Amino acid sequence: MGVGTSIVLIAVGAILRFAVSVTTTGFNLHTIGLILMIAGVLALVLSIMFWSTWGGFGGAAVGGGYRRQRRVSSDGSGGYVEEERADTR
């Protein structure tokens, strides 16, 4: 579950808990709203906690990822020599 789904759960739960005034038999809509809000808050907290381990955008800037370097130099007789070095961090 992501942050967006968590916010939707919290919103739907709040609507069921505070805005709906229907009496039902067999189950309580206010309790279901409270359960949805608690599940949404827990999912939001877990999403924020694991956000940094996701990888996402800018992963190479943080030090992870794959980097390839290529060096082209003259060999002295009119040709060129290519050297490739792969670096996995």
Alpha-carbon distance of 84 to 78, in angstroms, equals 20
Checking DSSP bridges between strand 66-74 and strand 80-88, what pairing results, if any? antiparallel
- Neighbouring C-beta atoms of residue 44, cutoff 10 Å: 19
Are 38 and 57 in contact by the 8 Å Cβ rule? The answer is no
How high is the pLDDT of residue 38? 96
How high is the pLDDT of residue 34? 95
Question: DSSP secondary-structure letter at 75?
Answer: -
- The helix (H) or strand (E) run that includes residue 43 is helix 29-49
How high is the pLDDT of residue 43? 93
How high is the pLDDT of residue 55? 60
Provide the token pair at 35. 């359960």
If the chain, 89 residues long, is cut into consecutive pieces of 10 residues, what is the mean pLDDT of each piece? 90 93 88 95 90 62 67 82 70
How high is the pLDDT of residue 33? 94
